[in-house]
Amino acid sequence: MSLPHRTDPGVHAREVDVAYGNDVVVRAASVSLAAGTVTALIGPNGSGKSTLLRALARLHPPVAGSVTFADGADLRALSGKDVARRITLLSQHRTAPGGVCVRELVEFGRHPHRSRWGGRDPGGPAAVARAMELTGLSALADRPVQALSGGQAQRVWLAACLAQDTGLLLLDEPTTFLDLRYQVEILDVVRDLADRHRVGVGVVLHDLDQAAAVADRVLLLEGGRVTAEGSPADVLTPENLTRAYGIRVDVVPDPAGGRIHTRAVGRFNDTSARTASA
């Protein structure tokens, strides 16, 4: 089942500052999300990754700079419903209301498309069914959300975002707290959305190997500033990562698959230090 055809949904943030009160936490950051492209935001805790993502969804409006869509629309000039029809965010902190089943929670994603007072939504049933199929939830449609595992619940929230039927999807640490299988499944869905359905994806990840595997482009943030941007091979270098994280990080290309693997080096796994002391 395919997502509807769309014109280029891309979004472009240019030189944006984002602040909490008088404290500017993101400074002069620029990022573009394009159709069919996965962009990973990486960096240490407190570097501004999640805040920048929220700014793209206008949940934390920038105090300087601009955010525009590919068709020229300015984020600031759009209504809340118009923004929600263009871009959706899967945040870190979500609480499902009690007593709802999987289908009902996924249907919440249709709120921007309903007429006033929650009225007609002709495309709703098809969009909900499509979102559940893409996330492998069709067989669980009537199951209570509270009865699901953590990984299954994460997929339900992702399905709700997909039912919102936008061309741009923002994911804030979608693999956190999931076991290995569900991490891989979530990232497989992300890659399929970009490759098969031309969705533009921006995703905050702490796992650098996951970023290398799933992303077309990587942004490295430090202290609220973008300090490196480009392909995984361009950004995930020992110099960039060691500087950003304040610990030695080795980078080893996989000669078979061509992917990049990273390793933070501490006392417990520094074989050169143990050899020298012996």
CATH architecture of 11-277: 3-Layer(aba) Sandwich (3.40)
What is the Cα 142 distance to its own chain's centre?
27
Q: Where are the domains of the chain?
A: 11-277
Instruction: Say if residue 216 is exposed, middle or buried (CB neighbours under 10 Å; 0-12, 13-18, 19+).
Output: middle
Phi, psi of 219, deg, nearest 5:
-115, 130
The single residue listed with the structure tokens 């709802």 is: 100
pLDDT at 274: 52
How far is 231 from 210, CA to CA, in rounded Å?
14
pLDDT at 177: 76
Give the residue from 83, 87, 82 showing the smallest Cα distance to 165. 87
- The token duo for 174 is 């979608």
The one-digit pLDDT tens for each residue of the chain (278 residues) are 555 545 567 999 999 999 999 999 999 999 999 999 999 999 999 999 999 999 999 999 999 999 999 999 999 999 999 999 999 999 887 777 888 999 999 999 998 988 766 567 888 999 999 999 988 899 999 999 999 988 888 889 999 999 999 999 999 999 887 888 888 988 998 999 999 989 999 999 999 999 999 999 999 999 999 999 999 999 999 999 999 999 999 999 877 777 889 999 987 777 665 555 55
pLDDT at 69: 95
pLDDT at 259: 83
Instruction: Say if residue 201 is exposed, middle or buried (CB neighbours under 10 Å; 0-12, 13-18, 19+).
Output: buried
Other beta carbons within 10 angstroms of residue 142's beta carbon come to 9
pLDDT at 106: 96
pTM score: 0.88
CB 169, CB 161: distance < 8 Å: yes
How far is 218 from 85, CA to CA, in rounded Å?
26
Phi, psi of 29, deg, nearest 5:
-90, 135
69: left (phi over 0), alpha (psi -120 to 50) or beta: beta
Give the residue from 231, 201, 237 showing the smallest Cα distance to 219. 231
